[in-house]
Amino acid sequence: MKPKVVVYKKMNAGVLDFLRETCEVVYFEGLNAENYRDFLDELKEARGLLGSGLAVDRELLDHAPQLEVVSNASVGYDNFDIPLLKERGIVATNTPGVLNETVADTILGLILATARRIPELDQFVKAGQWATVLPEEQFGVDVHHKVLGIIGMGGVGTAVAKRANLGFGMPILYHNRTRNEEAEKLYGATYCTLEELLAGSDYVCLMTPLNPETEKMIGKREFALMKKTGIFINASRGKVIDEAALIEALENKEILAAGLDVFAQEPVEPDNPLLSMKNVVTLPHVGSATSETRIKMARLAAENLIAGLRGGIPPNVIH
Ligand SMILES: NC(=O)C1=CN([C@@H]2O[C@H](COP(=O)(O)OP(=O)(O)OC[C@H]3O[C@@H](n4cnc5c(N)ncnc54)[C@H](OP(=O)(O)O)[C@@H]3O)[C@@H](O)[C@H]2O)C=CC1
Ligand SMILES: O=CC(=O)O
């Protein structure tokens, strides 16, 4: 008998067919108030769960007594209660690697858009306000050859360093808990403390996972350490920063601008002060959102799920 798996996120048809070769798939294109009860009912006999973003915690797991594998179609797994999954012997997996280049493209887009004020000037032109040669107050700042600090030089961080260093001639500072020799050798990245990075960078790019150790790791003290001309970029998770402290730093002109793909609450509340700041460029958590990359992530998530259900060690098991 094929193992029953529940997919709770819109999936590419080819990936669903691939899953159906070995599994009985119950498919929810998305979860909402109407179908959530049915979803919980389906979990009763599910041996696998595949999607992203849903809190896989005690409340959910209590509805899923047969669960063997939870597979995220994302690299971040802050939605998983890892200690509880371990306690229950449930294998957890994610999708690192396949999205690095796409997310790095998005981050370079945020850096350029913020520094050169592209969305703001786009609005200015479209509103018919371009009447004369632009005054200096509307100029941007250079990106090329400025110092980029990367907090979290992992898969995505290294792909950002490659673009910034080889393409834009940017010297790279980075901070991790451990050294990244590849980034040092290939992109001349210099390892430093968090404080040295914040004080020495023109652009600070945050790319760590969200976990109890990193939650609010960037707050009032850290923004105060940045240059007044510094630009802050976050594509990790909104809760890795103290969002109120970022708002304050921008309001008090302690930093110049910010580019954000992620927020403490998603979708972001319409009255969040960040949304009314001209010097803040926002995206709706789309770091990896190209069709090509999302298919690769879905396929990898499906492969992880199947490997786990077969009793093997999936390629991307979370330890
Ligand atoms: N906006 C989007 O669409 C996307 C967001 N993400 C987010 O970005 C995160 C990173 O992705 P990815 O690069 O693939 O992950 P990796 O695991 O490859 O890299 C994470 C890096 O963060 C460092 N790190 C972890 N903990 C700390 C800490 N306490 N202090 C300093 N550095 C730390 C790690 O180094 P070390 O262990 O040595 O400290 C590592 O270099 C994901 O977990 C996800 O939350 C990822 C992809 C897309
Ligand atoms: O946010 C996206 C991810 O893959 O993590």
Determine the distance separating the centroid of ligand 1 and the alpha carbon of 200, expressed in angstroms.
Answer: 21
Q: Is the domain covering 100-282 a CATH 3.40.50.720 domain?
A: yes
Q: Which residues of the chain have pLDDT under 50?
A: none
State in Å: Cα 241 to ligand 1 middle.
Answer: 14
Domain locations in the chain?
A: 4-97+292-309, 100-282
Task: Report d(CA 103, CA 83) in Å as an integer.
Answer: 28
Q: What is the pLDDT of residue 108?
A: 99
What pLDDT is recorded for position 110?
Answer: 99
ipTM for this prediction: 0.99
Tell me, using a 6 A CB cutoff, whether residue 288 lines ligand 2.
yes
311: left (phi over 0), alpha (psi -120 to 50) or beta: left
Ligand 1 centroid from CA 265, angstroms? 19
99 CA: nearest ligand 2 atom: 4
- Residue linked to tokens 């930093």: 255
Residues in the chain: 319
Predicted local confidence at residue 183, as pLDDT: 98
The pLDDT of residue 184: 98
The DSSP line for 167-234 is IH---EEEE-SS--HHHHHHH--EE--HHHHHHH-SEEEE-PPPSTTTTT-BSHHHHHHS-TT-EEEE
Catalytic residue numbers? 237, 266, 285
Q: Is 107 helix (H, G, I), strand (E, B) or coil?
A: helix
Residue 118's pLDDT is 98
Residue to probe by mutation, ligand 1, list 74, 75, 317, most atoms within 8 Å of CB: 75
- The pLDDT assigned to 176 comes to 98
Query: Can you give the pLDDT at residue 65?
Result: 98
149 lines ligand 1 (CB under 6 A): no
Is-contact 164 147, C-beta < 8 A? no
287 CA: nearest ligand 1 atom: 3
Q: What is the pLDDT of residue 86?
A: 98
Task: Please check whether the two domains, 4-97+292-309 and 100-282, share a CATH topology.
Answer: yes
Say if ligand 2 is within 6 A of residue 76 CB: yes
Q: Could you tell me the distance, in angstroms and rounded to a whole number, from the CA of residue 75 to the centre of ligand 2?
A: 5
pLDDT tens digits, one per residue of 256-301? 999 999 999 999 999 999 999 999 999 999 999 999 999 999 999 9
Percent of the chain clearing pLDDT 70 (strictly above): 100
Exposure string of 3-31, with b = 16+ CB inside 10 Å and e = fewer, is bbbbbbbebbeebbebbeeebbbbbbeeb
CATH code linked to domain 4-97+292-309: 3.40.50.720
Which residue has the least CA distance to atom 31 on ligand 1?
A: 176
Residue 2's CB is within 10 A of a number of other CB atoms, namely 13
Closest CA to 152 of 111, 180, 171: 180
For the entire predicted model, the pTM comes to: 0.98
Query: Nearest residue CA, atom 2 of ligand 2?
Result: 74
Whole-number percent of the chain with pLDDT over 90: 100
pLDDT of res. 243: 98
Instruction: Locate 148 and state its tokens.
Output: 């980029």
- Residues 131-164 pLDDT 10s: 999 999 999 999 999 999 999 999 999 999 999 9
Pairing state between β 148-151 and 203-206: parallel
